[in-house]
Structure 1
């Protein structure tokens, strides 16, 4: 009976966080049928053939190659939709929450595990990316699995299969996002903190080195595509406020765990998992601007573990005097957090939480177009609307395009020279322009886009204009006096 009760408790510790996190992910999953530009990249690439994806990766986005191939298979099996696009992230976040719960349970008891697992899905950064059609939540799941395997080894359950699984998980994480290899430094800190034995060190070094060696070609090749991240702003003091707050919260949780050198504890696992990726990305950003929270989403596992410790400490403090009341602490904290975060949670599930919406733009084009009219995009990256919703552009001529994104093995296609674009525009009577909404539009810098803007201003007049969810569709009619 006792063993059955213990097993039932162990299952509930991870099952409740999984169900809770998946419920949070399914809540408002379609975001009012909106898809923003990053997800549009996933959508359009996933609909290409495997050969087309492989050729494209030689020119752009090789860092996301494995994720694109995964989504290609899912789109083939279930069809392209917002559910297919985002559900893998929801399920992956549920797995990450389960790993947090199991680690907390093993190291500090039922309440710490349950609290940490429940807290993970509520973290604002996690709520944002658990509904994102990008690889960051899947990487977080890998981080949870690899950390759980490390804890298993440190608890003396060392088996070759365990280390093989550890190395394979790190490899998959690196292939999905090579910045996730910073987790190895976090695990290194845990090994130093706990004074791991020689056998653990040997096997960890072997598994880590093998995974890193396999990812190294991807790292080196992707450096040739570094222009893709040239838009990321340089590190500033303001950008350090968020990491500082997270580290302060985590530090409090670590202190409540009463950390000691040589002891495997939540602090020994959670604090490095939180701090090392944050500090590591800051250090890398001093060399090249790379500081985006999504690249280190997996560090939130460490924060959730430490929050679980803080809640578990509160329950332990209250239990001797008020045993019944102590059982209500976690539900009360979860409800209070949910209420406090409700405005933010609702905002993250609305189209306005992202910079734009390609599907809303496609609907505007479908309503405003006239067969035989031309269409232009400023910048050319806004062609993603057409790539995601080609039917909306049926009957429109993309007069600037020389090679489609598929044929050019790129994301946005290849456009003609400025002179050719000018000549093509002057041969039109009606042009639809798809661009960014006024409030988010950046100054035009490319020569082709300057030509498009100048010709429209001189020879055309706007006759219809719609701005919705970060994008703008304007219909231009040729001036009667233009020659």
Structure 2
């Protein structure tokens, strides 16, 4: 019996090819696109028509005038009025010193701030729900009408929006980390935003609710609470001092009407019902961050307004960060629906809806870049004064507070005699100067045959004020209106003496 000692040939083995590497649609270089594209779109929209036909409106006229005063004069003025905006005036004073006063210098900080806010929105979407949501949210943000409006205003609201957006990003990246530097950045940014405008502090409440709902570890909650307490402590002196200037917001009426803002907010909240892909290792979900940021600051300010009207939509402009995040997530959900079901009607429907929305935004976008988009036009008031008045004519403001409309350009009133002015705005450390006693003013009016009067909106002046009453009664008894020029937010009336 023989034994087969032959070694069997090795079995032929087949080597399976390695699994194909799934290419991610957004790699590291695409992260730059996610951040940079919204920045550039916002910057482009902000620079487009930024001069607004070379006009200023009333609030911007205040910024323009005060920013040209010395820092000591700004501080002394803030002791009487506008303390809540003193830091912004000081910042603009520095920029005017560096680049010279002008419309671009006045508005460019807001343009750049809103572009920075768009990048923060994109980064928040990227971190919480992926690069597509980040890109979509970042591109939606500059299209929102209120974002376009305040990106082109020489006020503090765009800066506050940007600071709150980046503070929110610092909060999200700080969750799960014990590094004190992250919380210091978050607290410092929130404090700066609140010093620029007090109502930015309401974003702290939204952030706290987000952390509670997200059930973050207790050390994170303690770190946030300590940081929030430090921010509030740093803000208390400003709140206490500015409370004495509460008459500044007496113009805020009740009930409050904000249909445009409410419509955009509701659309954003509807998008909150769309499922969002949760990224691994991220304890905070996008809707849990965005919804409180949209809802809570508005509700808190509206609740206070039941006692004293304070709600103005620009005071909570930063809520648009949450609105853009929700809309970006909603658009991404529609994209995922199309991929899941593969039905062409979804693609067609989305395309039609996108075209309709963009078409609806065109008139608003164009109108926002015209002087008529603001409640008044200080530049038009100055032009009307030059056309109506003759050298030597008298000049009055009804009410006196509207004197600041013409302060940025003294040439508009150089040929006229201000009949009520006792001390200039700069000398008196006020916005509109101080006026003569009522009897002195009335006697001075009777020395003139022609008086040009700047009338504010109807009911804007208080008849209980002796000076305003003296102006009105003297004009009624001894003068008659000869010519009236209507401009946005005001009337320029030429009165002639009865003989």
- TM-score for both structures, normalised by structure 2: 0.88
Q: Where in structure 2 are the equivalents of 1:228-307 lying within 5 Å?
A: 228-235=248-255, 239=257, 245-246=263-264, 248-257=266-275, 263-307=283-327
SS at 1:169's partner residue? helix
What are the Cα deviations for residues 3-58 of structure 1, in whole angstroms up to 9, with x where unaligned?
99712110111111111111111122122222111111111111111111000110
Alpha-carbon distance in structure 2 between the residues aligned to 1:75 and 1:331: 46
Q: Does 1:204 align with 2:224?
A: yes
- Evaluate the alpha carbon distance shift between residue 4 and residue 289 of structure 1 in structure 2; reply closer, same or farther with a 3 A threshold: closer
> Structure 2: how far apart are the matches of 1:89 and 1:330?
33
Q: Give distance in 2, aligned partners of 1:83 and 1:330.
A: 38
| Residue 135 of structure 2 corresponds to residue 114 of structure 1 | yes
Q: Is the 8 A contact 2:258 2:313 kept in 1?
A: no
Which residue does 2:121 correspond to in 1? 100
Aligned to 1:192: 212
| Alignment match, 1:423 | 443
Aligned counterpart, 1:475: 494
Match of residue 31 from structure 1:
52
8 Å contact kept, 2:129–2:276: no
**Residues 172-212 of structure 1: CA distance to partner in whole angstroms, max 9, x if unpaired?**
01101111101111000110111111221222122211111
Asked if 1 retains the 8 angstrom alpha-carbon contact of 2:129 and 2:277, the reply is no
Q: Work out whether 1:375 is the aligned partner of 2:383.
A: no
Shift of 1:251: 3.2
Structure 1 CA distance for aligned equivalents of residues 120 and 183 of structure 2:
17
Shift in Å, 1:429: 2.5
Q: CA deviation at 1:214?
A: 0.7
Q: Secondary structure at the match of 1:99?
A: helix
Larger radius of gyration: 2
Shift of 1:478: 2.6
Instruction: Tell me if structure 2 keeps the 8 A contact 1:243–1:278.
Output: no
Name the CA shift for 1:246/1:373 in 2 (closer, same or farther; >3 Å): closer
Gap change, CA 1:152 and 1:116, over 3 Å in 2: same
- 1:55 matched to 2:73? The reply is no
Superposition pairs of residues 81-480 of structure 1, within 5 angstroms: 81-154=102-175, 156-235=176-255, 239=257, 245-246=263-264, 248-257=266-275, 263-320=283-340, 335-436=355-456, 442=460, 445=463, 446-479=465-498
Instruction: Indicate if the aligned counterparts of 2:269 and 2:323 stay in contact, CA closer than 8 A.
Output: no
**Relative to structure 1, is the Cα distance of residues 90 and 280 closer, same or farther in structure 2, using a 3 angstrom cutoff?**
same
1:11 to 21, 32, 38: 32
Q: Where in structure 2 are there 5+ consecutive unaligned residues?
A: 1-20
- Match of 1:80? 101
3-state SS of 2:284 partner: coil
- Given candidates 29, 41, 58, the residue that maps to 2:62 is 41
Q: Please give the alpha-carbon distance, in whole angstroms, between the structure 2 residues aligned to 1:259 and 1:212.
A: 35
Listed one character per residue, the Cα deviations across residues 386-420 of structure 1 (whole Å, up to 9, x for unaligned) are 31110121132212111111111111111011111
Per the TM alignment, residue 327 of structure 1 is displaced from its structure 2 partner at its CA by 9.8
Tell me by how many angstroms 1:322 deviates.
5.0
Per-residue CA deviation, residues 77-117 of structure 1 (Å, 9 max, x unaligned), is 22222222221111111111111111101111122111111
Q: CA deviation at 1:328?
A: 10
Q: Is the 8 A contact 1:86 1:133 kept in 2?
A: yes
Deviations 1:125-154 (A, max 9, x none): 222222121111111001110110111012
Q: Which structure features the higher share of helix residues?
A: 1
In the alignment, the residues of structure 2 paired with residue 150 and residue 334 of structure 1 have an alpha-carbon distance, to the nearest angstrom, of 32
Number of corresponding residues: 474
Q: Secondary structure at the match of 2:27?
A: helix
Shift, 1:321, TM fit: 5.5
Of 47-56 and 456-465, the range deviating more from structure 2: 456-465
Match of 1:71 among 92, 115, 118: 92
| Change beyond 3 A, Cα 1:285–1:381 | same
Shift of 1:222: 0.8
Tell me how far 1:355 sits from its aligned partner: 1.7
Q: Give the direction of change, closer, same or farther, for the CA distance of 1:250–1:153 in structure 2 (3 Å limit).
A: same
1:221 deviates by 0.9
Q: Is the 8 A contact 1:257 1:265 kept in 2?
A: no
Cα pair distance change 1:218/1:33, threshold 3 Å = same
CA distance in 1, matches of 2:356, 2:270: 20
In 1: Cα distance, 2:344 partner to 2:108 partner = 38
SS of 2:54's equivalent? coil
Alpha-carbon distance in structure 1 between the residues aligned to 2:262 and 2:444:
53
